[in-house]
Structure 1
């Protein structure tokens, strides 16, 4: 054994020598050619500071201490004017792209399930000019159907080019757009449609037939349904009171000579642009009302943090467009002349579940330069890559580790490792097309471990953003030059952030070494409140003596000396145990997601109990391998229900918890392993993969009773 280790060490000597020579020869010219000194100074500089010395004063970006930014494109004070600006500059350039479906095949899986596999062709593009023509035809056609300015249109559809074309049309013709997540269940969709009382609904044939058909009899307000696909449906299956049209038919109506004289009624900055229903992590979804100037302000702040955004960029759109992160990202891209190629989480990479083996995923074909992702997707990429690393032989695995550790040290110092990028990380980078220059993570805190992995293996900065639907997605974004982890950046130039004392949780502005408290965001990007919910609006929103709107987020933050914010807790995630200790469930989950055996986790505690329990979606590959080592056989469900495997997962949980320095009372002492993953379709997580605690509690009610000693 000792001899084998010595031989391996000798074999690796040339690698260490190469790294040493490389560092000596390449580092100095690279240092000066890439202006690293300036980038390091940018990363360490003061980014935001309080507007006064008074404790609890709001923090502002140092570049906009005097006044907040509302708009960065002169005259473009409504969303339709943003597209006008882009059209004038980029008329002939590619705007929206969709991949052609060449064929579909049903593939039987070992467990007996049938998966639909796709063989996809190239991207077909619409230019800015062609999108504009479609918008005009569609707007005139919808007006001919009887839609009047300031009348609402509901969109309940998957992310695709038609979604964005419909949104741009509504912005131009002053039809406020109401968005519903495509993964909402029948009850939530019915609730949303009845609450907004819209007469016009835009959807897809698949959603119309799978979810809406049974819901429609409970919705009395609808008069027109427009479906986006070029398919025909049997209208006899639907109520006679409904008029059902294809999007193409509505466009053709708008192209008729008698309708070509219809002109758009352009919106004012204070007109309602969106009612965006949240995905409902706590109870029923709430509709957030945003006027045009709210969204313009929010995007002004976001775009300032994305360097070099322009017509050379390609953005891949696959997150739900009913989510504020995706919608504002895509509108911003269009404004600056980027092209957007559409995808889905099921076709994103060559390994995605809907891509036939041997075929190319969307990233490989599109080769995007910009991408947004939620932490759940980044965590999944991280675990998949690291799983493949474990399957390498000793030499390959050691080379990868040496390169990874070397680049990690360089990044921590604000440098890079170009040779490692070319020799070691090229294949990993190719998983997302090989061309990504910046990624943006939002929706939930991203673990430092995953952020570093994305920095290293995908060779690009990963910006963490913090914002809410109620603030038009704008709050903070880390700068591209910032190489720290765990923080979400300084306030954007469109808003200011203050921390409100929360005595019960023990967070105040006088805390040392840094002020802490509930995050409250103020500025022109703060929305107008909740649709038809005055009570909740009054509870969460306020207006100060200067007329500025503020929103209480419910998240707990800490400001660091450089003015950047860190999310450290959430009010609703805090549970007081029987002995009086406070447990932050979100903090526990964030720490334990670092466990290789865990794909997803929900911590749970009851105030009349003395300990924390957990529900876990285990990593199937790793847990199955561990079961084999322990001599445990059976189906995946059998493995998850086996008490020995529960004990093994708990053992790993304890190890990781101790490494992450969790308190003894914070560590879950019982676990339920779930053989089924939690997806938006199961109703246990939102579209942004945030946990729905109420639904998870109801789903695991019997297990909660068991783990707390009930019958």
Structure 2
């Protein structure tokens, strides 16, 4: 994606000449000293290849072609041993960091709404030794409260240091940890707690008051609630059979225990029952063993270069999501610092940060970060919106530098002068020291990936994995600056493509084999908790005893062994005239348009056209309305039929629509003023669309757009 260079032609030619001249005189010494030739070689090398000539056979990483990797350290076959080993290697190094809150205040907005703003101080750090001892004491305290080995315990909490300490305690004492998203609704929470028959739950004061308290009568087996923050609340407010404890009190109780109880966990014991975010109904509990997680993080660690004690990771995504949990466990296994944040305090511009004070990224200055595409798309659109408002000269210089750097990195070269002069301010949005940015949870658009490469001056490793594979599947190598692909299989797994006749995808296709992605290896999990039928549908065991997971995603392998996600089985709808429409493909094509903040495509198989729901960008919608002479608030513009038709026209006439067939372009749309967040229940915590919930929520609009009303 090139940016138009809106600048005086004479000045543009002068600048082009200066950049060319600078490149000529610095190329030879820089090329010889910077290692560019080695980066080019690694970027273009074959990264995975088939294990046999059979087109239905798997692909493996060339780094584990003869045997799949399954452990980080010799003898460390359970998660408690991995953390113990890291503690022995890095006892006094900073481990977990929490930022102190200096003050809170309410800020009244022009529209009358009240936003809570915070001023935050420095990060306070707990060393590896301190974190290990705290986790051990907490586990002992849980044991003293009656928690038994191999009996489930739940955590329902926001991402914070206490979450990972609780998890490590459970790993040590062999308590299978049931994880629940903090944004789940009451029925889903009650379903998870009852299905796993938990008697103890770890949570926060806010979630206890706002979500858990109302469903306690529906969870009859629950006996103990442990609060990670503050003292135990008013006992009279809860059912008589439930006792509320503070985490500190449970730790004190554990510190008095003489010995750690047996048995210690075994590699194939369940470490986590992770409830998925439920994009297709009630969440399913995925049973993940110690050996599954260790295999997954082994594959991830191998793909991140020079990972070690000099790195700082910023944790803010939900730890109940496999991407964040795996990323943090990888970092803790290698001695990194993990500093905690939240989406509301991440950057200087975040919603809870008081204007003029520092966001968490500015204070922490992380070198490693994981993000979901939704967050990266927002950053991309915000920065490009600011670029659009610059003066012609500023905009032209930015565009010139952007396009110059895009050409350079595609050849494997770096641009230190552009990085220092042009992109320094953008880079500082995330602290200024980022060296690896990992994207996962959903496909990342090529435009956003290239933008993050260029403006944040670091490689973007796009990954692919699922809860059922411990988040491990593929990650692009950091030297590979191609876009739109998810990389080669990790060293812990192999991937094969299964023919899908209905969709027209075959592993014999030329030039690239295509089909449903199946992931196999020691990272493939044990199946769904108390759901044998669904386990049989989605998991396979081959003649060698290896487990495979059928992902439902459609991929194609390129000549260098890298995978590209091109479709999804559940997203395919057959229209009345027999045409197949991939809803995900439609959304991916249109989502990066300036006027679109989010989009959900929909189609009925008894209808002849596609419709869509669009959360428009407020600035772009107001600008379009002014051109058309339409006035009103943002909400009224979204409900205006004239604006619906105008936005539909913009979508249909955009360059992005040229990549779609005519029948794939939404013929009618509904503009939506409220953004879709996990709190609304219309997207998952990874911001994936919940199609079933969206369909129910907008049923009247669907009927209207299809002529029913």
Distance in 2 between residues matched to 1:595 and 1:650, nearest whole Å: 12
Distance in 1 between residues matched to 2:389 and 2:176, nearest whole Å: 52
Could you report, residue by residue, the CA deviation over 1:338-358 in whole angstroms, capped at 9, with x for unpaired residues? 000000011000000110111
Deviation at 1:17, TM superposition (A): 3.2
Kindly indicate whether residue 322 of structure 2 is the aligned counterpart of residue 324 of structure 1. Answer: yes
Equivalent residue, structure 1, for 2:645: 647
Distance in 2 between residues matched to 1:587 and 1:160, nearest whole Å: 35
Deviation at 1:665, TM superposition (A): 0.6
Deviation at 1:264, TM superposition (A): 5.9
**Deviates most, 412-421 or 315-324:** 412-421
Could you report, residue by residue, the CA deviation over 1:454-474 in whole angstroms, capped at 9, with x for unpaired residues? 000000000010000000111
Equivalent residue, structure 2, for 1:158: 158
Q: Secondary structure at the match of 2:592?
A: coil
Equivalent residue, structure 2, for 1:81: 81
Equivalent residue, structure 1, for 2:99: 99
Distance in 1 between residues matched to 2:165 and 2:560, nearest whole Å: 41
Equivalent residue, structure 2, for 1:56: 56
* Cα distance, 1:381–1:322 mapped onto 2, change above 3 Å: same
Gaps (5+ residues) in structure 2?
Answer: none
- Asked if the contact 1:317–1:342 (Cα under 8 Å) also holds between the matched residues in 2, the reply is yes
Q: Secondary structure at the match of 1:222?
A: coil
Equivalent residue, structure 1, for 2:604: 606
**Deviates most, 231-240 or 360-369:** 231-240
Could you report, residue by residue, the CA deviation over 1:643-691 in whole angstroms, capped at 9, with x for unpaired residues? 2221221122112365541101110011101000000000000000000
Equivalent residue, structure 1, for 2:146: 146
Q: CA RMSD in A?
A: 1.3
Deviation at 1:261, TM superposition (A): 3.4
Distance in 1 between residues matched to 2:272 and 2:597, nearest whole Å: 35
Could you report, residue by residue, the CA deviation over 1:302-335 in whole angstroms, capped at 9, with x for unpaired residues? 1110000000000000000000010011011011
Distance in 1 between residues matched to 2:489 and 2:12, nearest whole Å: 46
- Asked if the contact 1:374–1:688 (Cα under 8 Å) also holds between the matched residues in 2, the reply is yes
Equivalent residue, structure 1, for 2:65: 65
TM-score by length of 2: 0.98
Kindly indicate whether residue 515 of structure 2 is the aligned counterpart of residue 514 of structure 1. Answer: no
1:409 to 381, 401, 407: 407
Distance in 1 between residues matched to 2:658 and 2:548, nearest whole Å: 35
* Cα distance, 1:253–1:9 mapped onto 2, change above 3 Å: same
- Asked if the contact 1:172–1:264 (Cα under 8 Å) also holds between the matched residues in 2, the reply is no
Gaps (5+ residues) in structure 1?
Answer: none
Could you report, residue by residue, the CA deviation over 1:478-503 in whole angstroms, capped at 9, with x for unpaired residues? 00111111110011111111101000
Distance in 2 between residues matched to 1:115 and 1:603, nearest whole Å: 33
Distance in 2 between residues matched to 1:154 and 1:309, nearest whole Å: 31
Equivalent residue, structure 2, for 1:110: 110
Equivalent residue, structure 1, for 2:210: 210
- The correspondence of residues 545-584 of structure 1 with structure 2, limited to 5 A, is 545-584=543-582
Distance in 1 between residues matched to 2:411 and 2:630, nearest whole Å: 46
Distance in 1 between residues matched to 2:260 and 2:368, nearest whole Å: 38
Kindly indicate whether residue 197 of structure 2 is the aligned counterpart of residue 197 of structure 1. Answer: yes
Deviation at 1:109, TM superposition (A): 1.6
Equivalent residue, structure 2, for 1:636: 634
- The correspondence of residues 456-475 of structure 1 with structure 2, limited to 5 A, is 456-475=454-473
Q: Secondary structure at the match of 1:558?
A: strand
Deviation at 1:27, TM superposition (A): 2.3
Equivalent residue, structure 2, for 1:17: 17
Deviation at 1:596, TM superposition (A): 0.7
Could you report, residue by residue, the CA deviation over 1:57-92 in whole angstroms, capped at 9, with x for unpaired residues? 111112222111111311111101111111111100
Equivalent residue, structure 1, for 2:535: 537
Could you report, residue by residue, the CA deviation over 1:550-608 in whole angstroms, capped at 9, with x for unpaired residues? 11000001011111100000000000000000000001100001211001000000000
- Asked if the contact 1:467–1:475 (Cα under 8 Å) also holds between the matched residues in 2, the reply is yes
Distance in 2 between residues matched to 1:515 and 1:114, nearest whole Å: 54
Deviation at 1:639, TM superposition (A): 1.1
Distance in 2 between residues matched to 1:266 and 1:289, nearest whole Å: 18
- The correspondence of residues 122-521 of structure 1 with structure 2, limited to 5 A, is 122-256=122-256, 259-263=257-261, 265-521=263-519
